[in-house]
Amino acid sequence: MRQRYLTYAAKRLAQAVIVILLTYVFTFVVISILPGDPITNVLRDPQNGFTEDQIKAIVAAQGLDQPIPVQLWTSLSHFLAGDLGLSMRSTRPVTTLIAEVLPSTLVLASSGLAVALLLAAVIAYGTQFLSKRFGQGLLRAFPSLFLSVPNFVIGLVLIHTFGFQLGLFRVIEPESAWATFFAAIALGIPISAQIAEVLIANLDTESRQEYAAVARSRGLGQARLFAKHLLKPSSLPVVTVIALTIGELLGGSLITETVFGRMGIGSLVQRSAAAQDLPVLQAVVSLAAVVFVLVNLIADLVYPLLDPRLRLVGDAKQQPNTADESSAPTLQAVTG
């Protein structure tokens, strides 16, 4: 059992590393073959006012005169060593640029996720306690409503209502606690819809299972049936859903940061994309890939620990009872 899990974990870890490396290479190639040459676009831009000598120096320092495969190799080996290179625009280390804005994005993303989980739980678990005639239908309508409103609209409405009308926060101080709170709500609402939909669907499926009827035949009421039987099996798949929404959380942060005027990875990406600052773009995309892969890796590793059924992975059944019955499961496992 333990041995099996460790083998499984090692396999998933190796896969994660391969995915990250492939993403890096893919991003590099895509950026390289995109139309537009950074040298012409950025360095020769008369507004920047670089001299021919300066341009030559920068090109040499960035290795832009090398063939693409060589550039890829240099860049990849630096990436593996933790060196993300220098920004082409400001000539500061990319690591520093990211480190400056990362905390702000992390705060926004994690509080957005917290809002999403809380909302989803209230909506989905709430359906279990409202009667079919009253309230439940209303609650079930929320996820589709949330999904159909783009989060920048939600952000603008929140800024208008709570910032300008009610004056709860000053719009020119986007990093304040209240501003962060409303940004997190704007970010969390569409994500909560996805989680709530999965939860509601799971709750519906689980409550139709035979074991739920049998548990009710033991005299369990709705509240205990939900708490003891339905909650865990219907919530487990959310671990996977959360991992999958990480991408959206990152993308959503980008939009929300722009709407609320916050500093963060979003604003960094926006500026770098406008300026074709390739080292920064490459670093941010790779970083996003690393985060996404890591979170999914964690979800995959945690899931078997939470769901006893998955501990079965290739595991022959136990044989605790009488001779004639105990021979059955093992053989079924073999022949089945």
Partner 1 sequence: MAPQDGLSASPTRAGILPGPTPPLLRVDGLSVSYGPHEVVTDVGFELRRGESLALIGESGSGKSTIARSVLRLLPHGGRATGRVEFNGQDVLGLSERRFRPLRGRAIGFVPQDPGNALNPVRTIGAQAEEAAALLDQPDTALRKRLILETFAQVGLDTPQRVYDAYPYQLSGGMLQRVLIGLAILPRPALLVADEPTSALDVTIQKRILDLLSQLRRDLDISLLLITHDLAIAAERADSLVVLKDGVVQETGSTALVFSAPASAYARKLHADVPALNPDRYADLRGTGFRRLQAGLRETPKIAVTAVTKTFTVDGKALTAVDGVTFTVPAGTTRALVGESGSGKTTTVRLLLGIEQPDSGDIRIAGEPITGRSHASLRAVRRHLQLVYQNPFTSLDPTWKVESLVREPLDRFGIGTRRERAERVRVALADVGLGEHLLARRPDALSGGQRQRVAIARSLILKPDVIVLDEPTSALDVSVQADIVEVLLALQAKLGLTYLFVSHDLALVRQLAHAVSIMHRGRIVEQGAVSDIFDNPQHAYTAALLAAVPSGLARPAPQSRSWPALNAARTA
Minimum CB–partner distance for residue 245 and partner 1 (Å): 23
Minimum CB–partner distance for residue 117 and partner 1 (Å): 20
Minimum CB–partner distance for residue 324 and partner 1 (Å): 7
CB 186 within 8 A of CB 161: no
> 133 or 208: whose CB is closer to partner 1?
208
d(CA 267, CA 45): 22
> 54 or 209: whose CB is closer to partner 1?
209
> 144 or 330: whose CB is closer to partner 1?
330
Minimum CB–partner distance for residue 188 and partner 1 (Å): 28
Minimum CB–partner distance for residue 113 and partner 1 (Å): 24
> 130 or 220: whose CB is closer to partner 1?
220
> 3 or 47: whose CB is closer to partner 1?
3
Collapsing DSSP to helix, strand or coil, 93 comes out as: strand
Which residues here bind partner 1, judged by CB under 8 A?
Answer: 208-211, 213-221, 224, 228-229, 232-233, 236, 307-309, 312, 316-318, 320-322, 324-336
Candidates 122, 147, 105, 121; CA nearest to 246 is: 105
Which pairs count as long-range contacts for 203-210, CB under 8 Å and 24+ apart, including other chains? 203/124, 203/125, 203/127, 203/128, 203/230, 203/234, 205/234, 206/230, 206/233, 206/234
